[in-house]
């Protein structure tokens, strides 16, 4: 089977499996009373089933096992993804301690580094381990925070996964490309139900944490062309730029207001866009366009020199800071805080 056909089959297979597994997940959630109820700052109109993450992985894992020949090198990525899906799903059900969740993420990041799949450009092993753990925990929580509007986290993750698939193909890492394109297909099948009006299922922590981990780990091992060191880290950050921006915006906004950083509130990028665009689907479309531009920048960065990428990183940091100041002026007051 040619590479192009293999990737096309992986995408289609995962999309079909997800379209089949998601209704099953909805049925199981309804039978077991596994709902996200509209309380506090949560604005959905009725209890909505969880288990979206389980449905996505139920489509992705078989696809990779069947079509990802040579993916044995990446088994820690898949194992960690399944582990965080389990922890996140338990959190959706039992409301686990945040420290337990973070501890699991730290262990997952350390596991990747121990298996040689983490960042490795720093001068010491301790520094590389720390950077890997911070990268993994940061992105897992960034995608978890982004999962606050129908289709937001899944739509952004879809674009990021597509960019990883492209880079993996260019870098002759077909098994990794199968993993990434399989995730794309699984998210496409899931979004059909997540973007329904009203949403028929949510990703939940079991989905957002697992997806954040898989993207974070994939970006540490995907070939990034001529880049290495800090320039590679910058290009990888572009590929997940919107969740990173949203996390910075939320943390700084809550610190400014004196609100608990770990509270829930309607102060995310999605909520601010919704006030302008009015429609959740319009917001998701805007997020997808924005993340597509950032992923295009990440791909183009792999063709540039390290010095140019470092300059781009500094400019992006300044632009992001200006956007945060503009979006979080003194007149901005969130609807509610889960304090």
Tell me what the mean pLDDT of segment 235-244 comes to: 97
* Token pair listed for 80: 């960690």
**Confidence tier at 1 by pLDDT (50, 70, 90):** low
- With beta carbons less than 8 A apart as the criterion, state whether 134 and 247 touch: no
At residue 338, the pLDDT reads 45
Per-residue pLDDT at 336 exceeds 60: no
Tell me the pLDDT tens digit for each residue of 278-303. Answer: 888 999 999 999 999 999 999 999 99
At residue 260, the pLDDT reads 79
Tell me the pLDDT tens digit for each residue of 183-235. Answer: 999 999 999 999 998 899 999 999 999 999 999 999 999 999 889 999 999 99
**Confidence tier at 332 by pLDDT (50, 70, 90):** low
Tell me what the mean pLDDT of segment 144-161 comes to: 95
Tell me what the mean pLDDT of segment 243-263 comes to: 86
Mean residue pLDDT across the chain? 91
Tell me the pLDDT tens digit for each residue of 90-137. Answer: 999 999 999 999 999 999 999 999 999 999 999 999 999 999 999 999
**Confidence tier at 331 by pLDDT (50, 70, 90):** low
Domain count, the chain: 1
Task: Report the C-alpha gap between 168 and 23 in whole angstroms.
Answer: 31
- With beta carbons less than 8 A apart as the criterion, state whether 34 and 49 touch: yes
Tell me what the mean pLDDT of segment 174-191 comes to: 97
Tell me the pLDDT tens digit for each residue of 108-121. Answer: 999 999 999 999 99
Residues facing 265 on adjacent strands:
337
Domain extent at residue 264: 3-338
Per-residue pLDDT at 2 exceeds 90: no
């Amino acid at each position: 089977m040619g590479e192009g056909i293999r990737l096309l089959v992986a995408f289609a297979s995962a999309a079909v499996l997800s379209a089949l597994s998601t209704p099953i997940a909805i049925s199981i959630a309804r039978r077991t009373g596994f709902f996200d109820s509209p309380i506090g700052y949560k604005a959905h109109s009725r209890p909505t089933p969880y288990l979206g993450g389980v449905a996505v992985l139920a489509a992705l894992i078989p696809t990779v096992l069947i079509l990802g020949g040579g993916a044995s090198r990446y088994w820690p990525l898949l194992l960690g993804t399944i582990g965080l899906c389990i922890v996140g799903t338990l959190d959706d059900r039992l409301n686990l301690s945040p420290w337990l969740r973070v501890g699991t993420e730290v262990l997952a990041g350390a596991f990747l580094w121990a298996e040689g799949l983490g960042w490795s450009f720093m001068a010491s092993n301790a520094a590389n381990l720390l950077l890997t753990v911070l990268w993994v925990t940061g992105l897992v929580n960034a995608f978890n925070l982004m999962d606050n509007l129908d289709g937001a986290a899944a739509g952004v993750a879809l674009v990021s996964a597509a960019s990883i698939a492209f880079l993996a193909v260019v870098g002759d890492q077909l098994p990794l490309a199968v993993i990434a394109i399989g995730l794309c297909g699984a998210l496409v099948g899931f979004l059909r139900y997540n973007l329904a009006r009203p949403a028929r299922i949510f990703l939940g922590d079991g989905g957002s944490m697992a997806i954040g981990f898989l993207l974070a780990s994939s970006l540490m091992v995907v070939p990034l062309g001529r880049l290495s060191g800090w320039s590679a880290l910058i290009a990888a950050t572009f590929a997940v730029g919107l969740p990173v921006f949203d996390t910075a915006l939320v943390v700084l906004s809550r610190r400014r207001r004196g609100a608990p950083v770990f509270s829930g509130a309607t102060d995310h990028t999605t909520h601010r866009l919704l006030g302008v665009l009015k429609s959740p689907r319009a917001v998701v479309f805007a997020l997808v366009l924005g993340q597509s531009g950032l992923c295009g920048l990440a791909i183009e960065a792999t063709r540039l020199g390290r010095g140019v990428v470092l300059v781009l990183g500094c400019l992006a940091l300044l632009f992001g800071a200006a956007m945060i100041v503009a979006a979080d002026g003194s007149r901005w007051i969130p609807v509610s805080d889960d304090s």
